[in-house]
Amino acid sequence: MAAYTTIDDPSAYFQTAIYTGNGGSSQAVTFDGNSDMQPDWLWLKVRSHGGNHFAYDSVRGATKALVPNDTDSEDTSYGYFSSFDSDGFTLGSSDNNVNGSGRTYVGWGWKAGTSFTNDASSTSVGSIDSAGSVNTDAGFSIMTYTGTGSNATFAHGLGAVPKMAIFKDRSSTGYWMTYHQAVGNGANLVLNTSDASSAASVWWNSTSPTSSVFSIGTSNNINVSGRNYVGYLFADVKGYSKFGSYTGNGNANGAFIYTGFKPAWIMIKGTNIARNWGINDTKRSPINQTQDSLYANVADAETGSGNYIDFLSNGFKLRDTALTMNGAYNYIYMAFAENPFVTSTGVPATAR
């Protein structure tokens, strides 16, 4: 019989760090899980005060910032971030967005790690070139490409079908275009807005991704000729990650959503209702019910009320009527594990 999961220690691929700013020109932040996890995608947010989200990845380089809650192009002028480290990351500024004295912060890190390049004309995989970093074990890749202005495909390196993907124009202002399997290839979500999903063929050329390529349409936000783009692509990995959907019931005794693992981090978005992208994790809320929410599309400080969720051994249960997560609407989620429901050797996870 095959093992339940191939990932017994999810902290080797995803971790959350919470820290307090020191107001200095530098601060090293260490993850407290797997000490060997060097992140390749890092997402930072000030919790105690309002302030932008900041995203960095090892493919574009540590000094190149993107702002998930805004349309800004890639920027090297901030100087907030210094390096990806073997056990965490180092900040390079006393700025209040990342390291203000006495302020509290969160950093979410994902590991890719294996260099990837594809020359489409040589391999006949995809119609445009792509390059980046990939982790097939964890179902995560960071891919960069240059737009052509015409419908195109590019190799993503996952060896599995991506279930969710987030794209950003690096060269110019533009929306964070988001694909999710539950919304489908004819519609789109936007990470930096609260908008409900919108239908159009210009997002994904009405073509679902395959285990080798991802399809993009002609939208300015993902495919202008000569502009540079980055994409973060995710595939389901049993016991580690899940990119699914559910229908809320508008009741404090909300739906239970099975993931196959005890979640460490969940982001939820209503697809047929205009509401924020809610983010909950077990480091900021170590006991049930989780209630310390941040929102990917806004610069607001962390809120300690609403969006209550129980993180269970095999999924999560909604405990609130907030429309962000549990109205009588459809929702998508992306989730990463603290522990698999059952390890490869048959050891079960326990609820909190």
Going by the DSSP 8-state scheme, the letter that residue 128 receives in this structure is B
Within a domain: 3: no
Give pLDDT, residue 290: 85
Contact 62, 47 (CB under 8 A): no
Q: What is the Cα–Cα distance from 111 to 66, expressed in whole angstroms?
A: 18
Within a domain: 351: no
Give pLDDT, residue 352: 60
In the predicted structure, residue 270 carries a pLDDT above the cut 90: yes
Note whether 97 and 43 are same-domain residues.
yes
Which domain range does residue 68 map to?
13-110
Give pLDDT, residue 343: 72
Give pLDDT, residue 73: 97
Note whether 225 and 258 are same-domain residues.
no
Give pLDDT, residue 287: 87
- Looking at 64, 90, 110, the residue that finishes a domain is 110
Residues 6+ apart with CB under 8 A from 74: 60, 64, 65, 66, 170, 171, 228
Give pLDDT, residue 289: 84
Give pLDDT, residue 350: 66
Output the six-digit token pair for 327. Answer: 């109205």
Percent above pLDDT 70 for the chain: 96
Note whether 227 and 333 are same-domain residues.
no
Q: What is the pTM of this model?
A: 0.96
Give pLDDT, residue 139: 98
Q: What is each CA distance from 231 to 185, 196, 223, 235, 257, in whole angstroms?
A: 16, 21, 12, 13, 27
Q: Which residue, 256, 198, 255, 236, is CA-closest to 335?
A: 236
Per residue in 248-268, pLDDT (tens digit) is 999 999 999 999 999 999 999
Pairing of strands 81-85, 88-91: antiparallel
Number of domains in the chain: 3
In the predicted structure, residue 306 carries a pLDDT above the cut 90: no
Per residue in 313-325, pLDDT (tens digit) is 999 999 989 999 9
Note whether 220 and 118 are same-domain residues.
yes
At 123, the pLDDT band (50, 70, 90 cuts) reads: very high
In the predicted structure, residue 32 carries a pLDDT above the cut 90: no
Output the six-digit token pair for 154. Answer: 């590019």
In the predicted structure, residue 1 carries a pLDDT above the cut 70: no
At 231, the pLDDT band (50, 70, 90 cuts) reads: very high
Q: What is each CA distance from 168 to 9, 42, 71, 79, 295, in whole angstroms?
A: 30, 15, 9, 20, 18
Within a domain: 297: yes
Instruction: Give the CATH number of the domain where residue 189 resides.
Output: 2.60.40
At 300, the pLDDT band (50, 70, 90 cuts) reads: very high
Mean pLDDT of the chain: 94
Q: Which residue, 335, 345, 288, is CA-closest to 315?
A: 335
Note whether 152 and 165 are same-domain residues.
yes
Note whether 149 and 127 are same-domain residues.
yes
Q: What is the Cα–Cα distance from 334 to 180, expressed in whole angstroms?
A: 9
Instruction: Tell me the mean pLDDT in the region 327-348.
Output: 86
Top pLDDT among 120 and 342 is at: 120
In the predicted structure, residue 341 carries a pLDDT above the cut 80: no
